[in-house]
């Protein structure tokens, strides 16, 4: 089992989402990870918390399912059919969701950095849910992952 995983969630104004898992990136050394070139689709609504949590779990489960292939288009490029990350990301909102065995889940809302060619940068303030106590994982209550996602999405949508 790995000590941490992260996923990227991209969504548009119609709340069509893609989830992108991370995997090993041999170019970044022994501990290097990067987004994989695979993605999962989901349509976010205000009433589908069980489906949202299942989607997020599915994306996390795909972390480290393969090695990152250098030179491949990103998952977002594959999804949109556009060349270049900035062109593919245009019109999308983004958040990172990290999981670590010591800290649980951390949601990091992102916003477009207009000074740097459409790349994303962190919005001040992270949302953290779940804790680990005495090296034992405390399971999330049903709905907690969806609630944290919704709060992170609100921060992004208001930025």
Q: Where are the beta strands (DSSP E) in the chain?
A: 4-11, 16-24, 33-35, 40-43, 93-100, 104-113, 119-122, 127-129, 132-133, 136-137
Give 114-117's long-range contacts (Cβ < 8 A, gap of 24+): 117/86
80 to each of 13, 32, 48, 66, 86, how far by Cα in Å?
Answer: 14, 26, 25, 22, 11
pLDDT above 70 coverage of the chain, percent: 78
**Tokens 């599915």 belong to residue:** 58
Average predicted confidence (pLDDT) for the chain: 79
Kindly tell me if the per-residue pLDDT of 128 is higher than 70: no
Alpha helices in 62-103 (DSSP H): 75-80, 85-89
Query: Between 123 and 20, where is the model more confident?
Result: 20
Distance CA 32, CA 24 (A): 6
CATH architecture of the domain 4-158 equals 3-Layer(aba) Sandwich (3.40)
Q: What pLDDT, in 10s, does the model give residues 89-105?
A: 888 888 888 888 777 78
Q: What pLDDT, in 10s, does the model give residues 45-66?
A: 878 899 999 999 999 999 999 8
Mutual angle of helices 49-61 and 144-158, in 10-degree steps: 90
Kindly tell me if the per-residue pLDDT of 22 is higher than 80: yes
Distance CA 94, CA 84 (A): 16
**pLDDT bucket at 130, cuts 50 / 70 / 90:** very low
* Domain boundaries, given as residue ranges, for the chain: 4-158
């Amino acid at each position: 089992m790995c000590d941490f995983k992260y996923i990227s969630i991209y969504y548009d104004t119609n709340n069509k989402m893609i989830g992108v898992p991370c995997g090993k990136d041999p170019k970044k050394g022994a501990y290097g990870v990067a987004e994989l070139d695979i993605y999962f689709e989901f349509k976010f609504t205000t009433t589908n918390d069980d489906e949202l949590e299942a989607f997020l779990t599915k994306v996390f489960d795909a972390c480290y399912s393969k090695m990152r292939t250098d030179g491949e288009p990103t998952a977002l490029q594959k999804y949109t059919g556009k060349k270049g990350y900035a062109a593919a990301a245009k019109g999308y909102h983004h958040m990172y969701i990290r999981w670590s065995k010591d800290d649980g889940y951390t949601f990091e809302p992102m916003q477009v950095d207009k000074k740097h060619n459409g790349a994303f940068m962190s919005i001040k303030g992270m949302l953290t849910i779940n804790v680990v106590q005495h090296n034992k994982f405390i399971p999330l209550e049903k709905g907690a992952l969806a609630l944290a996602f919704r709060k992170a999405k609100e921060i992004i949508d208001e930025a």
